[in-house]
Amino acid sequence: MSTTTSGAATRVRPAGRSASSLQARMLPSWTPWAAVATSLVLALLGFLASGGANVAGIVAVALVIFLAGMHLVSTLVEGRRKAFDRLASHLVVLAFGLALLPLISLAIDTVSHGLARFDITFFTYSMRNVVGDGGGAVHALTGTLYVTGIASLIAVPIGLLTAIYLAEYGRGSLARAITFLVDVMTGIPSIVAGLFAYALMTILFGPGTVNGLAGALGLSVLMIPIVVRATEELLRLVPNELREAAYALGVPKWRTILWVVLPTAASGIISGVILAVARIVGETAPLMIAAGFTASLNSNPLANPMMTLPVFVYDQYAYPGVLREAYTERAWTGALTLILLVMGLNLIGRLIASRVAGKAGR
């Protein structure tokens, strides 16, 4: 054994094994990129030799060549352990890339097709008396804001209070029954929520009652379990030491929940609510049944059908009129608007959550 001393530190290195020899057993950092380029060239040459070239096929064959080649080279140079570590890392990156492909493809298609009608007319005109080209989706955008806002006003208080009960007070059979019902509600099909809202409005106001409030009731049924689950988990993550410190100062439990527990979990709760809103804003089936169809702007959620963006997209694509291209363009633009709306909601939620978390931290 040889010993190397530097100041007060002493390192022991096996005899005959130097630092340069240890470093020599590592592949250079540019090796994976060179392997990618070589794999693509080999795959392309193989397809050209066979008499044809297909982009998807070339990429698939190149991935196989890359994984096999890198594993072999790494085994020979770095050893089996490092080779399997590299293989696992490459598989993780590959899985991540495959997961991103549908998202990237969807975004590209939606933007490329939706920009054709992404203009002032689309956001200022409705489809009233429009046949063929022209018209817009202001009635659908307004309906979406009304229905989603009312559904949030119904679902968020109910979900928050239910979650507080389950996390802070709930014990015994009642809490277990509520938890079971919340789990069942999480998995119900969205069209069942629409049928429930339609049946409830029929009982209360008579047959054929279709309006924005009915659509909001259907969406709130879908939103409540999401809010309950997200809020309950976040409340359970609040350290018990904070509650015990408040109790030691003589603070009652309800005030501890209001002024200690909820502010601590406020950022996560807001994020959960925003995710619940993003979950329901794109629902179509319950709104088709409970809110109905209309080509006109309706600002009264208590009377007459109310169009929403998801139903507008479905209606434009499924029931084209004289000029099919015009209806398809409006459908793509409606889908792009819906995606931008969800993205905006998520950004707003993250901004509010960061500000609330900063204030809670101080």
Same domain, 125 and 172: yes
Q: Beta partners for 87?
A: none
Say what percent of the chain tops pLDDT 90.
52
310 contacts: CB under 8 Å, gap ≥ 6: 144, 281, 282, 283, 284, 287, 338
pLDDT (average), residues 180-190: 90
What is the Cα–Cα distance from 328 to 321, expressed in whole angstroms? 10
Same domain, 183 and 45: no
Provide the phi-psi class of 187: left if phi over 0, else alpha when psi is between -120 and 50, else beta: alpha
Mapped onto helix, strand or coil, the DSSP state of residue 6 is: strand
Least confident of 6-10, 171-175, 333-337: 6-10
Same domain, 197 and 305: yes
Residue 322, both tokens: 């004289």
Same domain, 220 and 332: yes
Nearest to 158 by CA among 191, 127, 182, 183: 182
What is the Cα–Cα distance from 125 to 127, expressed in whole angstroms? 7
pTM of the model as a whole: 0.78
**Is the distance from CB of 133 to CB of 326 less than 8 angstroms?**
yes
Q: How far is CA 161 from CA 156, 225, 245, 258, in A?
A: 8, 12, 23, 11
Looking at the 3D structure of the chain, how many domains does it have?
2
Same domain, 310 and 187: yes
Nearest to 147 by CA among 349, 330, 299, 295: 299
Residue of 56 and 116 predicted with greater confidence? 116
Say yes or no to pLDDT of 8 above 50.
no
Dump pLDDT digits (tens) for 76-110.
988 889 889 989 999 999 999 888 888 888 889 99
What is the Cα–Cα distance from 111 to 117, expressed in whole angstroms? 11
Mean pLDDT of the residues in the chain:
86
CA-derived radius of gyration, the chain: 29
Domain boundary residue among 115, 137, 152?
115
pLDDT recorded at residue 1: 46
Has residue 16 been placed in a domain?
A: no
Dump pLDDT digits (tens) for 12-61.
444 444 444 444 478 888 988 999 899 988 888 888 887 766 787 888 88
Same domain, 96 and 167: no
Q: Helices (H) and strands (E) in the chain — how many of each?
A: 16, 2
Q: Beta partners for 13?
A: 2
Could you tell me the residue range of the domain that residue 141 belongs to?
121-361
Dump pLDDT digits (tens) for 299-328.
999 989 999 999 999 999 988 877 889 999
Dump pLDDT digits (tens) for 232-289.
998 999 999 999 999 999 999 999 999 999 988 888 888 888 888 988 998 999 999 9
CATH number of 322's domain: 1.10.3720.10
Q: Distance between alpha carbon 235 and the CA centroid of its chain, in Å? A: 22
Residue 94, both tokens: 């590959």
Residue 336, both tokens: 């792009």
Has residue 3 been placed in a domain?
A: no
Dump pLDDT digits (tens) for 118-168.
999 999 999 998 888 888 999 999 999 999 999 999 999 999 999 999 999
Domain boundary residue among 115, 134, 161?
115
Has residue 11 been placed in a domain?
A: no
pLDDT recorded at residue 20: 45
Say what percent of the chain tops pLDDT 70.
91
Nearest to 133 by CA among 147, 119, 152: 119
Has residue 174 been placed in a domain?
A: yes
